[in-house]
Structure 1
Amino acid sequence: MGHLIQNFENSNRLRMRAHRLIPGGAHTYAKGDDQYPMLSPGFIASGYGSHVWDVDANEYIEYGMGNRAVGLGHAYAHVVQAVMEELERGCNFTRPSRVEIDCASAFLETVPSAEMVKFCKNGSDATSAAIRLARAATGRDLIAICRDHPFFSTDDWFIGTTPMNAGVPDAVRDLTLGFRYGDLDSARDLLRRHPGRIAAFILEPSRGDAPKDKYLHRLKDLCHENGALFILDEMITGFRWHSGGAQQAYDIVPDLSCFGKALGNGFAISALAGKREFMDLGGIEQTSAPRVFLLSTTHGAETHAMAAAIATMQVYRHEPVIEHLIQQGTKLKTALAQVAAVHGLQNHFKVSGHPACLTYATLDAAGQPSQMFRSLFLQETIRRGVLAPSLVVSYTHSDEDIEKTIDAIDGALSVYKRALDRRVETFLVGRPSDPVFRRFNGPSTSAPPLPRLDGAGVGFAMPAADMMARKT
């Protein structure tokens, strides 16, 4: 892919400012410096389609896609045009706008298993509203979350279950229980140990493979037999597995479901949807039960975000978006398995997941997950013009993008192989990346030190092994 990218001078200058002004240096933990190697773009200046440019004018084929929020591609013309036209009329009013009805209608046509919908700005608001609604509908306090799924909300009911639970009272932590995906016995065990106390089970429909033996249907039946609601978190699966969500792909009707991310192709909009009997508890017309403060946010109904969602759903309805995502993801997954095998790394670098939402595992010489090798892989793919914290494709990832990505990863894995044979520290510049959910920062897990800026603009000493890496 041409010369190796080494210049991050402007990114490094901005890093110094960012860490003085913003806790963590970013407003999203997954985008923080501790999630990337030292030699990486700190700030993105622009994006178009499947490509992004950083503040040093380095170009990358991108596979994070805004933490999976961009399904069509950056600055997708149909969506941008709809947003611009709506913005010319204003974006926030004292009373509802017509676009709120239009967006709700479009959503319920696209996700036919839902009967009502309410919009908000982020996924955490939607899932937390679902939890509150389930507690109100059942009169119960306990919530069961799938322990195999990594994230549900920034709110206390979930964050209290992670190592980053500082500030969450024990009384709140004790209200959330865990079960395992695909394991009905683990759900039965919770219901047996907490009879009549669990308000809902919440889980993602899938992390990759389709559920086996009608697992979702059987779990839903188990929930209803025990008076609990069945909630699907479709933040990731929605608009990737199927335009109507994984619930439509798997023919399952949840009591409540939560959408976001690709719903607005990167614009801030999310949704809580579900059966009328539950959703109406947050309305102003029902009189048979106490009112539920469901969702009410100043910016929840910004008109331009809803215009973005409508335009996005139009593209999904009229163009083969899902088919393209699956096709390109399958190409990538198949080719990378072959590339890893050529390097003898099939037991150390593995790509898995749904074709529209691939992830990869980086394993050390002992076959154990390694942040050190993840950082090395990121460093080497970034240097070859690929920004891939995951391998999530969009509608604008072309065949040429896929081929260039395969070539870049081939080059990166050649370095990976040498690092396995020698010492990874010889090839990795600086500290490794860290998991987001960790209890403490420390010498090996703190935010990266502010770089010194040398004349070459790299800002970090470059070891001999790094200089010797092949161009691809």
Structure 2
Amino acid sequence: MNYSQRLNRVIPGGGHTYSRGDDQYPSNAPHILQRAKGAYVWDPDGNRYLDYGMALRAVTIGYGYEPVVMAAMEQALYGNNLTRASIVELEAAEAFCNLIPSVEMVKFGKNGSTVTTAAVKLARSYTGRSLVAICAQHPFFSYDDWFIGATALPKGVPEAFQELTKKFSYNDITSLSALFAENPGQIACVILEPAAAVPPKDGFLQKVRDLCHLNGAVFILDEMITGFRFHLQGAQVLFDVQPDLCTFGKGMANGFSVAALAGKREIMELGGIKQDGMERTFLVSTTHGAEMCGMGALLKTIQCYKELGVVEHLWAYGEKLVNGMNDVARELGIESAFQVEGYPCSPNYVTRDAKGEVSLEFRTLFHQEMIRNKVLIPWMALCYQHGNEELDLTLTAVRASLQVYRKALEDGVGGYLEGRAIRPVFRRYN
């Protein structure tokens, strides 16, 4: 059996996130990886690829960055997980509360789904309401029922749960106003990312906050991707808006498993034990939530961000990369079919067919050809160790790949794809 067969025989989906599955990659992609360093990954056969997946955006400084690794190892040697709260757990919590202006208390976890679900639970407890409003354009908030029940994959989620989640549109405040009007006194919270590829317009985030407070709902910002990438203190600082609750994860510990639910004391304390006579809310209670190696990695990552200017580098490198890729597309006369958009620190490439329609087949073709040129680019996650050499390597691969892309626009993509196209994660049938 090959690696793909072995993986899918023992792991449902072939990996522990669906975005790592075979259906998300071209057929010539490595099925398994062995190691990584800096901005590169290697497969078991020794093939090296420049990586823009960066562990699903969790690595922002670079793979195996030794100061962070050594800080994590030091804490592991202290015991890694103690019977009561650890010193490094306290230090990490204090550092995080001091870092983010909107944060007065924090609860750590090991993954984003845990803390976004905890945020929703806390909002329901605080308001006594059941409904949740989510942004329709933001693709993923949690693997838990409150979110998955609102996707194309509701199988396994009780219908009653599916009915508790409502959708509104980004940059369309009237769509959110309509939800509040249709469900008076029932919406516990509104959750969205501060921004994805499209920026907030006309004070949209401030309007969402104000609408939440006017209607007695909790305003939650999901900063899994934007936090520690758009700004060290979160995109909430970049866009000058303070949420009631916020969630962080991904790059906050440079690949170590750390996520955070954080926010206002009056809401967070509902999960506490020091308010005598208050009805209790059982919030997050995880054995490994504040594992010491992760806390050490978080503290060192914050320090490295400040010393190295990581966020500034992500913006500067991203601007060069976005401009370079778009320049190549223009030179080849296919700028209407291939375009890189979004914020320079977190860009996104868009692929269209000859009719101008967004195309997964052409996205697969581009990624297939980039892999052929030793660049793994399922999306565009940047890290501090993407530098001038990596920029040159990337743009050389882009030029070669887009030349094939141009031929496929003329001749039809089918003759150039080596296997089937990648498929949406949220689809009802395999």
TM-score greater than 0.5 by the shorter chain: yes
Residue 136 (structure 1) aligned to one of 122, 125, 132: 125
1:182 aligned counterpart, secondary structure: coil
Q: 2 CA distance for matches of 1:209 and 1:372?
A: 23
Deviation at 1:287, TM superposition (A): 3.2
Is 1:41 the counterpart of 2:35 in the alignment? no
Residue 342 (structure 1) aligned to one of 331, 337, 340: 331
> Residue type of the partner of 2:243?
P
Structure 1's consecutive aligned runs of 4 or more residues displaced over 3 angstroms after TM superposition are none
2:228 aligned counterpart, secondary structure: coil
Q: 1 CA distance for matches of 2:14 and 2:92?
A: 35
- List aligned pairs for 1:254-265, cutoff 5 A: 254-265=243-254
Deviation at 1:212, TM superposition (A): 1.8
Residue pair 1:329, 1:392 contacting (<8 A) in 2 also: no
Q: 1 CA distance for matches of 2:328 and 2:120?
A: 44
2:106 aligned counterpart, secondary structure: strand
> Residue type of the partner of 1:165?
P
Which residue of the partner structure matches residue 76 of structure 1? 65
Q: 1 CA distance for matches of 2:249 and 2:272?
A: 22
Which residue of the partner structure matches residue 150 of structure 2? 161
Residue pair 1:19, 1:25 contacting (<8 A) in 2 also: yes
Is 1:307 the counterpart of 2:296 in the alignment? yes
Residue 352 (structure 1) aligned to one of 325, 330, 341: 341
> Residue type of the partner of 1:431?
R
- List aligned pairs for 1:186-335, cutoff 5 A: 186-287=175-276, 289-335=278-324
Q: 2 CA distance for matches of 1:288 and 1:335?
A: 61
Deviation at 1:356, TM superposition (A): 1.2
Residue 175 (structure 1) aligned to one of 155, 159, 164: 164
> Residue type of the partner of 2:178?
D
1:44 aligned counterpart, secondary structure: coil
Q: 2 CA distance for matches of 1:79 and 1:390?
A: 25
Q: 2 CA distance for matches of 1:279 and 1:212?
A: 30
Residue pair 1:113, 1:248 contacting (<8 A) in 2 also: no
CA 288–195 in structure 1, closer or farther in 2 if over 3 Å, else same: farther
Output the aligned Cα RMSD.
1.0
> Residue type of the partner of 2:157?
V
Q: 1 CA distance for matches of 2:260 and 2:142?
A: 14
Deviation string 1:8-48 (CA, Å, 9 cap, x unpaired) is: xxxx8211211211112111100001100111111111111
Q: 1 CA distance for matches of 2:75 and 2:238?
A: 32
Which residue of the partner structure matches residue 97 of structure 1? 86
> Residue type of the partner of 1:384?
N
Residue 106 (structure 1) aligned to one of 95, 100, 103: 95
Q: 2 CA distance for matches of 1:135 and 1:192?
A: 19
The TM-score with structure 2 as length reference comes to 0.98
Q: 2 CA distance for matches of 1:223 and 1:287?
A: 29
Deviation at 1:259, TM superposition (A): 0.2
Deviation string 1:161-184 (CA, Å, 9 cap, x unpaired) is: 111111011100000000011111
Q: 2 CA distance for matches of 1:315 and 1:106?
A: 14
Q: 2 CA distance for matches of 1:184 and 1:27?
A: 36
Deviation string 1:44-95 (CA, Å, 9 cap, x unpaired) is: 1111111111122111111111111111110111101101111111211221
Residue pair 1:376, 1:427 contacting (<8 A) in 2 also: yes
Q: 1 CA distance for matches of 2:36 and 2:4?
A: 20
Residue 50 (structure 2) aligned to one of 56, 61, 64: 61
> Residue type of the partner of 1:354?
Y
Residue pair 1:82, 1:307 contacting (<8 A) in 2 also: yes
Residue 409 (structure 2) aligned to one of 415, 420, 425: 420
Q: 2 CA distance for matches of 1:351 and 1:223?
A: 34
1:61 aligned counterpart, secondary structure: strand
Residue pair 1:380, 1:412 contacting (<8 A) in 2 also: yes
> Residue type of the partner of 1:286?
Q
Residue pair 2:231, 2:238 contacting (<8 A) in 1 also: yes
Q: 2 CA distance for matches of 1:119 and 1:388?
A: 30
Deviation at 1:144, TM superposition (A): 0.2
Which residue of the partner structure matches residue 439 of structure 1? 428
Residue pair 2:102, 2:244 contacting (<8 A) in 1 also: no
Deviation string 1:305-360 (CA, Å, 9 cap, x unpaired) is: 11111110111122211110000000010111110111111111111111111111
1:118 aligned counterpart, secondary structure: strand
1:358 aligned counterpart, secondary structure: strand
